[in-house]
Amino acid sequence: MFQWLKNLFAPKKCAICGKKAMDARNYYNDTGEPVVVCRNCTEYAERRAFRKRN
């Protein structure tokens, strides 16, 4: 029920390296799920055809 709240405050993890994404960028992954990607992995994300979201 409060999962959305939990998601709101949980530290975001990078979808690629799995580390806490301090400078997270929002993307959709190749299956269309919203994910965050840390700054270091944005290049990789774009090669994987992840789409930016705002």
Quote the distance between the C-alpha of residue 11 and its chain's center: 11
Residue 34 pairs in a beta bridge with 28
Q: How far apart are CA 5 and CA 37, in angstroms?
A: 20
User: Which listed range, 5-13, 22-30, 33-41, 46-54, lies at the site for Zn ion (CB under 5 A)?
Assistant: 33-41
Minimum distance of Zn ion from residue 6's CB (angstroms): 22
Nearest distance from C-beta of residue 22 to Zn ion, angstroms: 10
| Under rule CB under 5 A, residue 38 binds Zn ion | yes
**Per-residue tokens: 10:** 């949980």
Residues in touch with Zn ion (CB under 5 A): 14, 16-17, 38, 41
